[in-house]
C-alpha cells in the first residue's frame, strides 16, 4: 500500500467471491501479499481455465465491496501536493485494474495528473519512461524493479507487504517508513 490501504475492501471482495463460488479462499492470507496482478492470486484458488471468468467476476464485485472501506494512507495527499509544489506532475502506476484504481482515488479525493493501471514490476517501466518519471514511490520489490528499469529514482515506503530490508535488497535508492516522510525527502531531492 503506497497511497491507499485497500486491504479491507480487497478482503471483503474476496470473501464475497468465496461465498458466491463455494471455494475456500483465505482472504486473510491474500491481503498479506498484495502487489502482484489479480490473475496471479487467482491461480492459487481457481483452475487456470476459470481464472478469466473469476477475475471478471471479482472486478464486477469490487466497486460495491472495496471502495468504501479503503482509506488514504497518512501522507498520501501531502506527497502528491509536494510534487506539484515543486512544479512536477503526479503519475500513479498500479497493478490494480485501472477503473478500480480510479474509483479509489476519486472516492478519497486523490487526484494524480495521470493514472495507468494493470502494470506490474518491470512492466511499470513502460509508463514511467513514457511519462518521464524521475522518481517512483512504491511499497513492493516489484515497484523497485520497475523504477530501476525506467531509470527513475526508487523511493520505497515500508507500508506494504515488503519490509525495509527487502526493499533495500531489491535496490531501492531510499526507504522511508511511510509517506509522511516523503515531502521532506522530495523537497531536498528537488532542491539538488
Give me the residue spans of the domains in the chain. 4-65, 72-191
Q: Please give the Cα distance from 126 to 68 (Å, whole number).
A: 31
Classify burial at 92, counting beta carbons within 10 Å of its beta carbon; exposed 0-12, middle 13-18, buried 19 or more: buried
pLDDT tens-digit readout, 8-63: 999 999 999 999 999 999 999 999 999 999 999 999 999 999 999 999 999 999 99
Class of domain 72-191: alpha beta
- With CA atoms as reference, report the closest residue to 51 among 38, 64, 61: 38
As a whole-number percent, the residues of the chain with pLDDT over 70 amount to 99
Q: Please give the Cα distance from 117 to 96 (Å, whole number).
A: 6
Q: Phi-psi bin for 101: left (phi > 0), alpha (psi -120 to 50), beta?
A: alpha
User: Which residues lie across from 72 on neighbouring strands?
Assistant: 4
The overall average pLDDT reported for the chain is 98
Q: What are the DSSP calls for 42-85, one per residue?
A: HTTTS-GGGHHHHHHHHHHHHHHHTSTT-EEPTTHHHHHHHHHH
pLDDT at 192 over 80: no
- Would you state the cell numbers that stand for residue 118, as one nine-digit string? 494493470
pLDDT of residue 170: 98
- Domain 4-65 architecture: Orthogonal Bundle (1.10)
Q: What's the rounded mean pLDDT across residues 91-104?
A: 97
pTM metric for this prediction: 0.94
pLDDT of residue 15: 99
Asked if the domains 4-65 and 72-191 are classified in one and the same CATH topology, the answer is no
Amino acid at each position: 500500500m503506497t497511497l491507499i490501504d485497500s486491504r479491507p475492501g480487497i478482503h471483503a471482495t474476496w470473501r464475497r467471491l468465496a461465498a458466491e463460488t463455494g471455494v475456500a479462499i483465505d482472504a486473510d492470507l491474500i491481503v498479506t501479499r498484495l502487489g502482484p496482478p489479480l490473475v496471479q492470486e487467482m491461480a492459487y484458488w481457481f483452475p487456470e481455465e476459470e481464472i478469466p471468468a473469476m477475475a471478471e467476476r471479482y472486478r464486477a464485485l469490487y466497486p460495491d465491496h472495496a471502495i468504501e472501506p479503503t482509506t488514504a494512507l497518512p501522507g498520501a495527499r501531502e506527497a502528491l501536493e509536494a510534487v506539484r509544489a515543486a512544479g512536477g506532475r503526479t503519475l500513479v502506476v498500479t497493478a490494480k485494474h485501472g477503473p478500480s484504481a480510479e474509483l479509489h482515488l476519486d472516492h478519497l479525493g486523490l487526484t494524480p495528473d495521470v493514472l495507468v493501471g494493470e502494470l506490474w514490476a518491470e512492466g511499470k517501466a513502460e509508463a514511467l519512461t513514457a511519462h518521464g518519471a524521475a522518481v517512483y514511490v512504491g511499497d513492493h520489490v516489484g515497484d523497485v524493479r520497475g523504477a530501476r528499469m525506467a531509470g527513475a529514482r526508487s523511493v520505497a515506503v515500508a507500508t506494504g507487504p515488503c519490509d525495509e530490508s527487502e526493499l533495500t535488497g531489491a535496490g531501492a535508492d531510499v526507504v522511508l517508513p511511510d509517506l509522511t516522510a516523503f515531502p521532506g525527502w522530495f523537497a531536498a531531492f528537488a532542491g539538488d
